[in-house]
Structure 1
Amino acid sequence: MLRCLAALALLLAPVWGSTALAHQQKFTITTIAHNPRTGMIEIMHQVPVHDAEHSLVVQRTGNPNTHSPDIIGSEESREAFARYVTRRFLFQLGDAIITPDYVGSEITGGSLWVYQEVAAPAEGELRLRVNSQIFTDVWARQENRVNLGGGTNVSTFIFHGGDAPQTGLLPR
Protein backbone atom coordinates (compact mmCIF):
# COMPACT_ATOMS: atom_id res chain seq x y z
CA MET A 1 0.00 0.00 0.00
CA LEU A 2 2.79 2.40 0.91
CA ARG A 3 4.49 1.70 -2.44
CA CYS A 4 1.25 2.48 -4.30
CA LEU A 5 0.90 5.82 -2.49
CA ALA A 6 4.55 6.69 -3.17
CA ALA A 7 4.16 5.81 -6.87
CA LEU A 8 0.96 7.87 -7.09
CA ALA A 9 2.70 10.82 -5.41
CA LEU A 10 5.58 10.61 -7.91
CA LEU A 11 3.15 10.53 -10.82
CA LEU A 12 1.13 13.50 -9.56
CA ALA A 13 4.07 15.64 -8.39
CA PRO A 14 4.64 17.24 -11.84
CA VAL A 15 0.93 18.09 -12.08
CA TRP A 16 0.87 19.69 -8.62
CA GLY A 17 4.11 21.55 -9.33
CA SER A 18 2.88 22.95 -12.64
CA THR A 19 -0.43 23.98 -11.05
CA ALA A 20 1.40 25.90 -8.34
CA LEU A 21 3.53 27.72 -10.91
CA ALA A 22 0.69 28.33 -13.36
CA HIS A 23 -0.25 31.58 -11.65
CA GLN A 24 3.03 33.25 -12.57
CA GLN A 25 2.68 34.38 -16.15
CA LYS A 26 6.05 36.15 -16.52
CA PHE A 27 4.53 38.28 -19.27
CA THR A 28 3.65 41.99 -19.37
CA ILE A 29 2.07 44.13 -22.06
CA THR A 30 2.68 47.84 -22.47
CA THR A 31 0.65 49.87 -24.94
CA ILE A 32 1.81 53.29 -26.11
CA ALA A 33 -0.67 55.42 -28.03
CA HIS A 34 -1.01 59.04 -29.11
CA ASN A 35 -4.22 60.68 -27.94
CA PRO A 36 -4.99 63.48 -30.45
CA ARG A 37 -7.72 64.92 -28.20
CA THR A 38 -5.30 65.62 -25.35
CA GLY A 39 -2.03 65.88 -27.31
CA MET A 40 -0.52 63.33 -24.96
CA ILE A 41 1.37 60.10 -25.49
CA GLU A 42 -0.30 57.61 -23.17
CA ILE A 43 1.57 54.61 -21.74
CA MET A 44 -0.41 51.74 -20.22
CA HIS A 45 1.41 48.85 -18.53
CA GLN A 46 -0.65 45.69 -17.91
CA VAL A 47 0.87 43.38 -15.31
CA PRO A 48 -0.57 40.19 -13.76
CA VAL A 49 -1.36 40.97 -10.08
CA HIS A 50 0.10 37.66 -8.90
CA ASP A 51 3.42 38.38 -10.63
CA ALA A 52 3.48 41.90 -9.16
CA GLU A 53 2.93 40.61 -5.63
CA HIS A 54 5.51 37.87 -6.05
CA SER A 55 8.09 40.35 -7.34
CA LEU A 56 7.51 42.60 -4.31
CA VAL A 57 8.18 39.61 -2.04
CA VAL A 58 11.37 38.85 -3.96
CA GLN A 59 12.41 42.50 -3.75
CA ARG A 60 11.41 42.62 -0.04
CA THR A 61 9.15 45.63 -0.43
CA GLY A 62 5.44 46.22 -0.08
CA ASN A 63 3.31 47.09 2.92
CA PRO A 64 5.61 47.04 5.99
CA ASN A 65 2.61 46.22 8.23
CA THR A 66 2.16 42.77 6.66
CA HIS A 67 4.51 39.92 5.90
CA SER A 68 3.51 39.75 2.27
CA PRO A 69 2.49 42.51 -0.12
CA ASP A 70 -1.15 42.88 -1.05
CA ILE A 71 -1.48 44.81 -4.30
CA ILE A 72 -5.27 44.49 -4.29
CA GLY A 73 -5.88 45.50 -0.67
CA SER A 74 -2.99 47.87 -0.03
CA GLU A 75 -2.64 51.14 -1.90
CA GLU A 76 0.87 51.39 -0.42
CA SER A 77 1.92 48.08 -2.02
CA ARG A 78 0.27 49.02 -5.31
CA GLU A 79 2.07 52.37 -5.41
CA ALA A 80 5.40 50.72 -4.51
CA PHE A 81 4.97 48.40 -7.46
CA ALA A 82 3.90 51.24 -9.78
CA ARG A 83 7.13 53.07 -8.88
CA TYR A 84 9.06 49.91 -9.74
CA VAL A 85 7.33 49.68 -13.17
CA THR A 86 8.14 53.29 -14.03
CA ARG A 87 11.82 52.76 -13.13
CA ARG A 88 12.09 49.63 -15.31
CA PHE A 89 10.66 51.25 -18.47
CA LEU A 90 12.92 53.35 -20.71
CA PHE A 91 11.20 55.95 -22.87
CA GLN A 92 12.98 58.16 -25.37
CA LEU A 93 11.22 60.66 -27.66
CA GLY A 94 13.45 61.75 -30.50
CA ASP A 95 16.90 62.27 -28.97
CA ALA A 96 15.68 62.98 -25.43
CA ILE A 97 15.31 60.39 -22.68
CA ILE A 98 12.09 61.32 -20.91
CA THR A 99 10.55 60.22 -17.65
CA PRO A 100 6.81 60.17 -18.37
CA ASP A 101 4.53 61.48 -15.65
CA TYR A 102 2.93 58.86 -13.44
CA VAL A 103 -0.86 59.16 -13.75
CA GLY A 104 -2.06 56.34 -11.50
CA SER A 105 -2.89 52.67 -11.27
CA GLU A 106 -5.92 50.42 -11.02
CA ILE A 107 -6.81 46.77 -10.83
CA THR A 108 -9.08 45.21 -13.43
CA GLY A 109 -9.67 41.48 -13.13
CA GLY A 110 -6.32 39.82 -12.51
CA SER A 111 -4.32 42.70 -13.97
CA LEU A 112 -2.71 45.73 -12.43
CA TRP A 113 -2.65 48.68 -14.80
CA VAL A 114 -0.01 51.39 -14.38
CA TYR A 115 -0.58 54.60 -16.36
CA GLN A 116 1.94 57.19 -17.52
CA GLU A 117 1.81 60.06 -20.01
CA VAL A 118 3.99 62.66 -21.66
CA ALA A 119 3.17 65.61 -23.89
CA ALA A 120 3.63 64.89 -27.59
CA PRO A 121 5.38 67.47 -29.76
CA ALA A 122 2.82 69.48 -31.74
CA GLU A 123 4.42 68.63 -35.08
CA GLY A 124 6.69 66.07 -36.67
CA GLU A 125 6.98 62.35 -36.37
CA LEU A 126 6.79 60.57 -33.04
CA ARG A 127 9.98 58.49 -33.12
CA LEU A 128 10.18 56.51 -29.89
CA ARG A 129 12.93 54.39 -28.43
CA VAL A 130 11.71 52.08 -25.69
CA ASN A 131 12.89 49.24 -23.50
CA SER A 132 10.76 47.33 -21.01
CA GLN A 133 12.78 45.52 -18.36
CA ILE A 134 9.86 44.98 -15.93
CA PHE A 135 10.52 41.79 -13.89
CA THR A 136 13.71 40.91 -15.82
CA ASP A 137 15.61 41.50 -12.58
CA VAL A 138 13.33 38.93 -10.90
CA TRP A 139 12.87 36.20 -13.54
CA ALA A 140 15.30 35.19 -16.27
CA ARG A 141 12.46 33.99 -18.53
CA GLN A 142 10.40 37.20 -18.32
CA GLU A 143 8.91 38.48 -21.58
CA ASN A 144 7.67 42.05 -22.03
CA ARG A 145 5.74 43.20 -25.07
CA VAL A 146 5.44 46.84 -26.04
CA ASN A 147 2.78 47.81 -28.58
CA LEU A 148 3.17 51.14 -30.38
CA GLY A 149 -0.14 52.46 -31.71
CA GLY A 150 -3.64 51.10 -31.63
CA GLY A 151 -6.35 49.47 -33.71
CA THR A 152 -4.96 47.87 -36.85
CA ASN A 153 -1.85 50.09 -36.91
CA VAL A 154 0.37 48.46 -34.24
CA SER A 155 4.07 47.64 -34.05
CA THR A 156 5.09 45.18 -31.33
CA PHE A 157 8.49 44.89 -29.68
CA ILE A 158 9.42 41.96 -27.45
CA PHE A 159 11.97 42.37 -24.66
CA HIS A 160 13.83 39.92 -22.42
CA GLY A 161 16.45 40.62 -19.77
CA GLY A 162 19.41 42.59 -21.10
CA ASP A 163 17.85 43.38 -24.48
CA ALA A 164 18.76 46.66 -26.16
CA PRO A 165 16.13 49.37 -26.69
CA GLN A 166 14.13 49.31 -29.93
CA THR A 167 12.99 52.23 -32.05
CA GLY A 168 9.74 52.77 -33.90
CA LEU A 169 7.30 55.39 -35.12
CA LEU A 170 4.16 56.02 -33.10
CA PRO A 171 1.20 56.80 -35.38
CA ARG A 172 -0.50 60.13 -34.68
Structure 2
Amino acid sequence: MIRRRALALGLALALAPLAGPVAEAHQQKIAISTIALNPRSGMVEIAHQVPVHDAEHALRVQGAKNPDIIGSAKSREDFAGYVTRRFLFQINGQVIEPAYVGSEITGGSLWVYQEAPAPAGSDPALLRFNSQILTDVWARQENRVNIGGGTNVATFIFKAGDAPRSAALTE
Protein backbone atom coordinates (compact mmCIF):
# COMPACT_ATOMS: atom_id res chain seq x y z
CA MET A 1 0.00 0.00 0.00
CA ILE A 2 2.76 2.44 0.95
CA ARG A 3 4.71 1.39 -2.11
CA ARG A 4 1.71 2.21 -4.35
CA ARG A 5 1.27 5.63 -2.73
CA ALA A 6 4.97 6.38 -3.10
CA LEU A 7 4.83 5.38 -6.77
CA ALA A 8 1.73 7.55 -7.35
CA LEU A 9 3.37 10.50 -5.56
CA GLY A 10 6.56 10.06 -7.58
CA LEU A 11 4.59 9.94 -10.83
CA ALA A 12 2.62 13.05 -9.86
CA LEU A 13 5.79 14.94 -9.03
CA ALA A 14 7.44 13.83 -12.28
CA LEU A 15 4.46 15.07 -14.32
CA ALA A 16 3.95 18.32 -12.38
CA PRO A 17 6.24 20.42 -14.63
CA LEU A 18 4.10 19.43 -17.60
CA ALA A 19 0.96 20.83 -15.98
CA GLY A 20 2.16 24.45 -16.13
CA PRO A 21 1.82 24.97 -19.89
CA VAL A 22 -1.48 23.11 -19.93
CA ALA A 23 -2.91 25.33 -17.19
CA GLU A 24 -1.73 28.48 -18.97
CA ALA A 25 -3.08 27.29 -22.32
CA HIS A 26 -6.70 27.76 -21.23
CA GLN A 27 -6.65 31.46 -22.02
CA GLN A 28 -5.10 31.71 -25.45
CA LYS A 29 -5.69 35.45 -25.86
CA ILE A 30 -5.92 35.24 -29.65
CA ALA A 31 -8.85 35.56 -32.02
CA ILE A 32 -8.70 35.01 -35.77
CA SER A 33 -11.07 36.62 -38.24
CA THR A 34 -11.16 35.87 -41.94
CA ILE A 35 -12.75 38.11 -44.56
CA ALA A 36 -13.24 36.58 -47.99
CA LEU A 37 -15.33 37.22 -51.07
CA ASN A 38 -17.67 34.42 -52.10
CA PRO A 39 -18.19 34.99 -55.84
CA ARG A 40 -20.96 32.36 -56.01
CA SER A 41 -23.16 34.18 -53.49
CA GLY A 42 -21.92 37.72 -54.15
CA MET A 43 -21.28 38.14 -50.44
CA VAL A 44 -18.33 39.21 -48.32
CA GLU A 45 -18.09 36.50 -45.68
CA ILE A 46 -16.55 37.06 -42.25
CA ALA A 47 -15.69 34.21 -39.89
CA HIS A 48 -14.39 34.86 -36.36
CA GLN A 49 -12.68 32.05 -34.42
CA VAL A 50 -12.41 32.50 -30.64
CA PRO A 51 -11.33 29.91 -28.05
CA VAL A 52 -14.37 28.76 -26.05
CA HIS A 53 -12.61 29.32 -22.71
CA ASP A 54 -11.75 32.91 -23.66
CA ALA A 55 -15.35 33.54 -24.74
CA GLU A 56 -16.73 32.24 -21.44
CA HIS A 57 -14.25 34.35 -19.48
CA ALA A 58 -15.31 37.45 -21.41
CA LEU A 59 -18.97 36.77 -20.62
CA ARG A 60 -18.09 36.44 -16.90
CA VAL A 61 -16.28 39.79 -17.05
CA GLN A 62 -19.46 41.28 -18.55
CA GLY A 63 -21.48 39.97 -15.60
CA ALA A 64 -22.89 36.68 -16.92
CA LYS A 65 -23.37 34.06 -14.23
CA ASN A 66 -21.99 30.63 -15.18
CA PRO A 67 -21.71 31.13 -18.97
CA ASP A 68 -21.58 27.89 -20.95
CA ILE A 69 -20.67 28.45 -24.60
CA ILE A 70 -20.91 24.74 -25.45
CA GLY A 71 -24.12 23.88 -23.59
CA SER A 72 -26.09 27.12 -23.78
CA ALA A 73 -27.42 28.70 -26.97
CA LYS A 74 -27.98 31.92 -24.97
CA SER A 75 -24.31 32.10 -23.96
CA ARG A 76 -23.26 31.52 -27.59
CA GLU A 77 -25.62 34.20 -28.86
CA ASP A 78 -24.55 36.66 -26.15
CA PHE A 79 -20.91 36.21 -27.10
CA ALA A 80 -21.67 36.37 -30.83
CA GLY A 81 -23.35 39.75 -30.22
CA TYR A 82 -20.23 40.91 -28.37
CA VAL A 83 -18.00 39.81 -31.29
CA THR A 84 -20.10 41.67 -33.85
CA ARG A 85 -19.89 44.87 -31.77
CA ARG A 86 -16.09 44.62 -31.35
CA PHE A 87 -15.32 44.10 -35.07
CA LEU A 88 -15.51 47.30 -37.08
CA PHE A 89 -15.92 47.05 -40.84
CA GLN A 90 -16.15 49.38 -43.86
CA ILE A 91 -16.37 48.68 -47.59
CA ASN A 92 -15.28 51.47 -49.94
CA GLY A 93 -15.51 54.04 -47.14
CA GLN A 94 -19.02 53.08 -46.04
CA VAL A 95 -19.57 51.69 -42.53
CA ILE A 96 -21.11 48.25 -42.87
CA GLU A 97 -22.91 46.25 -40.21
CA PRO A 98 -22.56 42.72 -41.56
CA ALA A 99 -25.54 40.48 -40.94
CA TYR A 100 -25.11 37.86 -38.26
CA VAL A 101 -25.42 34.44 -39.90
CA GLY A 102 -24.85 32.13 -36.93
CA SER A 103 -22.30 30.39 -34.76
CA GLU A 104 -20.97 26.90 -34.12
CA ILE A 105 -18.52 25.05 -31.93
CA THR A 106 -15.66 23.20 -33.60
CA GLY A 107 -13.12 21.59 -31.30
CA GLY A 108 -12.23 24.16 -28.65
CA SER A 109 -13.31 27.15 -30.75
CA LEU A 110 -16.48 29.15 -31.15
CA TRP A 111 -17.00 30.31 -34.73
CA VAL A 112 -19.14 33.40 -35.35
CA TYR A 113 -20.26 34.04 -38.95
CA GLN A 114 -21.29 37.30 -40.61
CA GLU A 115 -21.85 38.43 -44.19
CA ALA A 116 -22.45 41.58 -46.20
CA PRO A 117 -23.26 42.15 -49.87
CA ALA A 118 -20.16 42.60 -52.01
CA PRO A 119 -20.02 45.91 -53.86
CA ALA A 120 -21.01 45.81 -57.52
CA GLY A 121 -18.37 46.28 -60.17
CA SER A 122 -15.16 44.60 -61.18
CA ASP A 123 -12.79 46.76 -59.15
CA PRO A 124 -11.48 45.23 -55.90
CA ALA A 125 -13.35 46.51 -52.85
CA LEU A 126 -11.34 48.56 -50.38
CA LEU A 127 -11.89 47.22 -46.89
CA ARG A 128 -11.20 49.04 -43.64
CA PHE A 129 -11.42 46.95 -40.50
CA ASN A 130 -10.43 46.75 -36.86
CA SER A 131 -10.68 43.74 -34.58
CA GLN A 132 -10.91 44.69 -30.91
CA ILE A 133 -12.43 41.36 -29.83
CA LEU A 134 -11.43 40.65 -26.21
CA THR A 135 -9.00 43.60 -26.03
CA ASP A 136 -11.25 45.06 -23.33
CA VAL A 137 -10.74 41.84 -21.34
CA TRP A 138 -6.98 41.30 -21.72
CA ALA A 139 -4.33 43.91 -22.43
CA ARG A 140 -2.22 41.23 -24.15
CA GLN A 141 -5.00 40.06 -26.48
CA GLU A 142 -3.87 39.63 -30.08
CA ASN A 143 -6.31 39.50 -32.97
CA ARG A 144 -5.44 38.43 -36.47
CA VAL A 145 -7.49 39.38 -39.48
CA ASN A 146 -6.92 37.43 -42.68
CA ILE A 147 -8.08 39.07 -45.91
CA GLY A 148 -8.70 36.88 -48.96
CA GLY A 149 -8.65 33.18 -49.52
CA GLY A 150 -6.64 30.37 -51.03
CA THR A 151 -2.98 31.28 -51.49
CA ASN A 152 -3.65 35.02 -51.68
CA VAL A 153 -4.09 35.96 -48.01
CA ALA A 154 -2.89 39.09 -46.21
CA THR A 155 -2.74 38.96 -42.40
CA PHE A 156 -3.10 41.96 -40.09
CA ILE A 157 -2.47 41.87 -36.33
CA PHE A 158 -4.40 44.05 -33.89
CA LYS A 159 -3.88 44.79 -30.21
CA ALA A 160 -5.84 47.01 -27.83
CA GLY A 161 -6.23 50.54 -29.14
CA ASP A 162 -4.79 49.89 -32.60
CA ALA A 163 -6.09 51.99 -35.47
CA PRO A 164 -8.11 50.44 -38.30
CA ARG A 165 -6.22 49.04 -41.30
CA SER A 166 -7.11 48.81 -44.98
CA ALA A 167 -6.72 46.22 -47.71
CA ALA A 168 -8.18 45.43 -51.10
CA LEU A 169 -10.48 42.43 -51.28
CA THR A 170 -9.94 40.39 -54.38
CA GLU A 171 -11.20 36.98 -55.40
TM-score range normalised by the length of the shorter chain: 0.7 to 0.9
Q: Partner of 1:144 in structure 2?
A: 143
For 1:146, the aligned partner's letter is: V
For 1:166, the aligned partner's letter is: R
Q: Partner of 1:27 in structure 2?
A: 30
Matched, 1:41 2:44: yes
Matched, 1:117 2:120: no
- In the TM superposition, residue 21 of structure 1 has moved relative to its aligned partner by 2.4
Given the two structures, how large is their TM-score scaled by the length of structure 2? 0.87
Q: Partner of 2:83 in structure 1?
A: 85
Q: Partner of 2:154 in structure 1?
A: 155
Q: Residues 15 and 59 (structure 1 numbering): CA distance in 2 closer, same or farther, change over 3 Å?
A: farther
Please, which runs of 5 or more residues in structure 1 have no aligned partner?
A: 1-11, 62-66
Separation (CA, whole Å) in 2 of partners of 1:102 and 1:22: 29
Matched, 1:73 2:71: yes
Q: Deviations over 1:30-68 (max 9, x none)?
A: 00000000000000000100110111111112xxxxx41
Matched, 1:99 2:97: yes
Aligned length: 156
For 1:94, the aligned partner's letter is: N
- In the TM superposition, residue 20 of structure 1 has moved relative to its aligned partner by 2.5
- In the TM superposition, residue 121 of structure 1 has moved relative to its aligned partner by 1.1
Separation (CA, whole Å) in 2 of partners of 1:150 and 1:133: 22
Separation (CA, whole Å) in 1 of partners of 2:139 and 2:25: 16
- In the TM superposition, residue 28 of structure 1 has moved relative to its aligned partner by 0.6
Given the two structures, how large is their TM-score scaled by the length of structure 1? 0.86
List 4+ stretches of structure 1 deviating above 3 A: 12-19
Separation (CA, whole Å) in 2 of partners of 1:98 and 1:164: 17
User: What secondary structure, in the 3-state scheme, does the structure 1 residue paired with 2:61 have?
Assistant: helix
For 2:49, the aligned partner's letter is: Q
User: What secondary structure, in the 3-state scheme, does the structure 2 residue paired with 1:163 have?
Assistant: coil
The sequence identity of aligned pairs, in percent, is: 69
User: What secondary structure, in the 3-state scheme, does the structure 2 residue paired with 1:112 have?
Assistant: strand
Q: Partner of 1:132 in structure 2?
A: 131
Separation (CA, whole Å) in 1 of partners of 2:45 and 2:21: 36
- In the TM superposition, residue 17 of structure 1 has moved relative to its aligned partner by 5.4
Q: Partner of 1:8 in structure 2?
A: none
